[in-house]
Chain A
Amino acid sequence: GNSVTQMEGPVTLSEEAFLTINCTYTATGYPSLFWYVQYPGEGLQLLLKATKADDKGSNKGFEATYRKETTSFHLEKGSVQVSDSAVYFCALSASNTGNQFYFGTGTSLTVIP
């Protein structure tokens, strides 16, 4: 079946530190991969996506590369800011299941000044 596994949080970093949030997936076929961000009290917002192997999604300084050989889609940012504090969700959408979304459990990030 399809599933997503994310590193457990919470993650606490100092401002300007390097961020990595690990995400691995299990899927049959060729899924699309996504990172969503949820700020306090809000719904989820699409952060970035990649639809095929070796694609790199990027937005707001965040990047993630679709690695088929390691079934991974790790989220990275070179220098985090306090405003990046949020919960981050990795997700996949697979055509063999009607493009239904499968979400990871979320990773909470707190950035301190």
Chain B
Amino acid sequence: NAGVTQTPKFQVLKTGQSMTLQCAQDMNHEYMSWYRQDPGMGLRLIHYSVGAGITDQGEVPNGYNVSRSTTEDFPLRLLSAAPSQTSVYFCASSYSIEQPGYTFGSGTRLTVV
């Protein structure tokens, strides 16, 4: 099925560990982004990309890295996990930044202990 695929769905990390959250879309969307969802705070933009090879920071980028080597994939890396990064992470994509309207993945629930 076409859409945005995120893996894993659940993950538990120890403080200081690193990991990569995967995101892939098969809709040939140029624009991709990562959000975190925390209770009472809605969704906050971490990083986004307007096309392969181009990334930029969102509202809460600290502690996260991204890269966009292909149109399809947009992985999010946690360099040294902290308890404050416990959250639900959503990847989203859209055809272009000029045509707003996201397709969201089903999310990754991350717990850092």
Tell me whether A105 and B42 are in contact (CB under 8 A).
yes
The answer to whether residues A101 and B45 also contact, given A44-B90, A46-B101, A93-B100 and a CB cut-off of 8 A, is: yes
Q: Check: A34 CB closer than 8 A to any chain B CB.
A: yes
Tell me whether A43 and B104 are in contact (CB under 8 A).
yes
Cα separation A101 to B31 with both chains bound (whole Å)? 12
Q: Check: A103 CB closer than 8 A to any chain B CB.
A: yes
Q: A31's closest neighbor in chain B, by CB? A: B100
Tell me whether A89 and B43 are in contact (CB under 8 A).
yes
Task: Choose one: B42, B58, B104, B107; the contact of A106 (CB below 8 Å).
Answer: B42
The answer to whether residues A98 and B100 also contact, given A43-B106, A105-B41 and a CB cut-off of 8 A, is: no
Which residues of chain B from 70 to 108 have any CB-CB distance to chain A below 8 Å in the complex?
Answer: 90, 92, 97-98, 100-107
The answer to whether residues A44 and B45 also contact, given A100-B58, A105-B40 and a CB cut-off of 8 A, is: no
Cα separation A33 to B48 with both chains bound (whole Å)? 20
Tell me whether A89 and B42 are in contact (CB under 8 A).
yes
Chain B residues with CB below 8 A from A89, complex form: 42-43
Q: Check: A12 CB closer than 8 A to any chain B CB.
A: no
Query: What is the CB-to-nearest-CB distance from B103 to chain A, in angstroms, rounded to a whole number?
Result: 8
Give B residues with C-beta under 8 Å from A: 4, 33, 35, 40-45, 48, 58, 90, 92, 97-98, 100-107
Q: Nearest 7 pairs between A and B by C-beta?
A: A43-B104, A93-B100, A105-B42, A103-B42, A103-B43, A44-B104, A43-B106
